[in-house]
Amino acid sequence: MAVTRQQLMACLDELLQPHQLNDYCPNGLQVEGTDTIKHLVTGVTASQALIDRAISENADALLVHHGYFWKGENPALVGIKAQRIRQLLGNNINLIAYHLPIDVHPKQGNNVQLGELLGFKNLAPLPSLKPNGIVYSADTAKPVRAGELHAHIATQLGRAVLHEGDKNAIVKTVAWCTGGGQGYIEQAAQAGVDAFITGEVSEQTIHIAREMNIHFYAAGHHATERYGVKAVGEWVGSKLPVTVQFIDIDNPA
Ligand SMILES: [Zn+2]
């Protein structure tokens, strides 16, 4: 049971079509390790804790949603970035990262996976936003009170969720963007949905929610983005002779 790095990358690129998106980081192979891959570890962010786990699990490759080399950051390999990359290279582990391609993918993407986890119906990308699929909208499984939706999201994600709005109001339609998508709340309100869900909250998000009369839920950047990379890994495991293991490093943010 093994594949070459080239076979793995070809499989991922075919699924995720990274060349179609203009992203804030390089998508694909970010740090080159061994040519032969038997064990693939997946996780949300290439933090030191995830690298340590990948090493202890004998990973040949680590596939993440949040890799390195973001636009605007100091490109020098110093500090924690040097430490992380030294460990990857020293252990011959490939680091593979896909950012927007994992957010927007119509099956394995973060947005679709979260919508399915929450049991929404009639999922569709909110039109006119680029890239297509960055915000999704849907109907709730049935009309629910905003407070019930709050409890439902918290149960499904296993964490506390922030809700702004009247908990007794009825919610029938939702829009969402996993991760740090709070900037899309105005577009969601303009699209006429009852509620907007994302990972993070900013001070101004609450005022926009109140003044545009839309329910707002912040359910955690990490918690809302666990499911895309996990699904991509499972898909790879169904296509290629590699073992795949998702490792969740808890993050309250
Ligand atoms: Zn993210």
**CA 87 to ligand 1 centroid distance, Å:** 23
Instruction: Give the span between the Cα atoms of 53 and 247, in whole angstroms.
Output: 8
Tell me whether the CATH fold assigned to 3-103+226-246 matches the one assigned to 109-221: yes
The answer to whether domain 109-221 has CATH 3.40.50.180 is no
| Under-50 pLDDT residues of the chain | none
**CA 221 to ligand 1 centroid distance, Å:** 6
Residue with tokens 């060349």: 19
Cβ < 5 A residues, ion ligand 1: 179, 225
Alpha helices of the chain — where are they, by DSSP H? Answer: 5-16, 48-56, 79-90, 100-104, 110-117, 146-157, 185-190, 203-211, 221-224, 226-239
| Cβ proximity of 230 and 246 under 8 Å | yes
For the chain, which residues make up each domain, given as ranges? 3-103+226-246, 109-221
- The pTM of this model reads 0.96
At residue 101's C-alpha, the angle toward residues 65 and 21, to 5°, is 130
Structure-block tokens of residue 26: 């390089």
Structure-block tokens of residue 142: 């049935």
**CA 168 to ligand 1 centroid distance, Å:** 31
**CA 177 to ligand 1 centroid distance, Å:** 10
For the residues of 15-82, what is the DSSP string, one character each? HH-GGGS--SS--EEEE---SEESEEEEEEE--HHHHHHHHHTT-SEEEEEE-S--TTS--S--HHHH
For residue 128, what pLDDT is reported? Answer: 85
Cα–chain-centroid distance for residue 110?
Answer: 4
**CA 222 to ligand 1 centroid distance, Å:** 7
The closest alpha carbon to 94, from 40, 18, 19, belongs to 40
Superfamily of domain 3-103+226-246: NIF3 (NGG1p interacting factor 3)-like (3.40.1390.30)
Q: What is the pLDDT of residues 38-54, one digit of tens each?
A: 999 999 999 999 999 99
**CA 59 to ligand 1 centroid distance, Å:** 23
Beta bridge partners, 24, equal none
**CA 238 to ligand 1 centroid distance, Å:** 25
**CA 1 to ligand 1 centroid distance, Å:** 32
**CA 16 to ligand 1 centroid distance, Å:** 16
**CA 102 to ligand 1 centroid distance, Å:** 10
Instruction: Give the span between the Cα atoms of 54 and 63, in whole angstroms.
Output: 10
**CA 225 to ligand 1 centroid distance, Å:** 6
**CA 193 to ligand 1 centroid distance, Å:** 23
Whether the CA torsion 130, 131, 133, 136 is positive or negative: it is negative
Cα dist. 23→19, 43, 70, 102, 234 in Å?
A: 9, 19, 9, 11, 24
Instruction: Give the span between the Cα atoms of 85 and 206, in whole angstroms.
Output: 38
Q: Are strands 36-37 and 3-4 parallel, antiparallel or unpaired?
A: antiparallel
The mean pLDDT value of the chain amounts to 97
Taking every pair of C-alpha atoms in the chain, what is the biggest distance, in angstroms? Answer: 57
Instruction: Give the span between the Cα atoms of 218 and 38, in whole angstroms.
Output: 37
For residue 55, what pLDDT is reported? Answer: 98
**CA 183 to ligand 1 centroid distance, Å:** 13
**CA 103 to ligand 1 centroid distance, Å:** 8
